Structure 1
């Protein structure tokens, strides 16, 4: 199943495990790479640039397949040392980077000079077109169903993906609401060159999050997420739990960030993933959790997606076309 994405980025399957805070660690990324997909270490999960260098080296010890690093660039009162993290990526010889958050234009010359291909995550067509203009090699377009920050336009993937692919010339990775072979086939039909999955990869054997979190994802339905920070115009989709429900309730009465800051601290979300206390803080999960009913190995997941996608394309869809043409199938 080859696409412009697999050809350009040197991977076997058009499947991506995007960077996830506290989740994109070497053991998951290496398993994704060995399965023939593209995984990303999350740079800012590592406390320092030096720790990132060590994590990249640790991943290289586990796999000889291509993998990348995610660098999420967000406004902050005390921003991380982005230039130092960027230098750590370049000096480690990584050849694929996923950027997200703010415009990556200030970082692109450094990555390009080092021969690094860049995928930029976007939540709108206008942002994707701007990313193409500044020189990224591909975009990952996030529909409203996604975990994390879906933007403020509330456009779901069924509309956003074809709206993007009809205007962009570079490869497009479909993201948000995808967890199985049906989502892969649908994304390809909508014009995408591959799919990005976060929640689905988080719920695998090699994922470094606590088993209790994985079991909760399996138990949850597509209705078990909450949209927080809506009133602050910084919407985030997270799993429904005691904390996210409290945040939504406080926001409904009118709130400033200071009123909820103690509830949404990143350290509390890290506790969820590392200790398995699902009500310790907010934690990201997409609506695709309603499609997840097991905790496979990464290899089992990728193999299943590809084989079932081929069956859908050559079986059911081919049968529909043949039936329309009056051919016996």
Structure 2
């Protein structure tokens, strides 16, 4: 078991290393998430990788059989003509006893409230400080601030992590983790030096 690096992220989530596996579509399955959690980080299952909420429930059970360490579920809400049944995916995570919900996109306040009522820790991904401040007001526990280097949906303001991470840390009263362009221990050390409580790595 790796020694614990004590940060607000590790204290809130119960992990040993301040490293969160990015919620990657098609990749965030039980095999990867459990390996990350067993290594001391926070593995993340990607809800919408699973075709149905029932499939997500089975993947959560599989992940639980592969690790006794904390892991989370990512649920990203993007504009869609026919949106997935987000509430049913959230309920599958709640019913599966998942304690960390990673969110991204336009999450309605009632969705956050439902997760919080179930005792979940909410880690929300943002690409600007103003969006992070809005999420903080809605009750999220941790912000993942995604610089322009981040994959997926890095926003449209083209602000790199070296500028964005310390700006978010200064502006928020909740823990911030850095996302984008972090690939090794040196990147983790740099993020911690900028004031982040950990990193999100894809």
User: Which residue matches 2:132?
Assistant: 128
User: Which residue matches 1:23?
Assistant: 27
Is 2:65 aligned against 1:65?
no
Cα separation, 1, equivalents of 2:104 and 2:180: 14
* Aligned pairs, number: 198
Cα separation, 2, equivalents of 1:123 and 1:44: 21
Which of 94, 98, 104 is the equivalent residue of 2:102?
98
Is 2:53 aligned against 1:46?
no
Structure 1, unpaired ranges of 5+: 199-329
Moved over 6 A (4+): none
What TM-score, normalized by structure 2, do the two folds share? 0.96
Cα separation, 1, equivalents of 2:161 and 2:27: 24
Is 2:191 aligned against 1:192?
no
Tell me how large the CA RMSD over aligned residues is.
0.7
After TM superposition, give the deviation of residue 132 of structure 1 in Å.
0.5
| CA deviation profile, 1:255-301 (whole Å, cap 9, x unmatched) | xxxxxxxxxxxxxxxxxxxxxxxxxxxxxxxxxxxxxxxxxxxxxxx
Pairs within 5 Å for 1:70-149: 70-149=74-153
User: Which residue matches 1:181?
Assistant: 185
| CA deviation profile, 1:95-118 (whole Å, cap 9, x unmatched) | 110001113423111111110110
Is 2:7 aligned against 1:3?
yes
Cα separation, 2, equivalents of 1:150 and 1:194: 18
Cα separation, 2, equivalents of 1:125 and 1:149: 15
| SS of residue in 1 equivalent to 2:134 | helix
Report which of the two has the higher share of strand: 2
Which of 145, 149, 153 is the equivalent residue of 2:157?
153
Cα separation, 1, equivalents of 2:120 and 2:153: 25
Cα separation, 2, equivalents of 1:63 and 1:182: 27
| CA deviation profile, 1:223-276 (whole Å, cap 9, x unmatched) | xxxxxxxxxxxxxxxxxxxxxxxxxxxxxxxxxxxxxxxxxxxxxxxxxxxxxx
| SS of residue in 2 equivalent to 1:107 | helix
On the 8 A contact 1:73/1:104 being kept in 2, the answer is no
| SS of residue in 1 equivalent to 2:132 | helix
Cα separation, 2, equivalents of 1:56 and 1:104: 24
Larger radius of gyration: 1
Report which of the two has the higher share of helix: 1
Cα separation, 1, equivalents of 2:182 and 2:172: 21
Cα separation, 1, equivalents of 2:74 and 2:108: 12
| SS of residue in 1 equivalent to 2:153 | coil
Cα separation, 1, equivalents of 2:163 and 2:65: 41
Cα separation, 1, equivalents of 2:8 and 2:99: 17
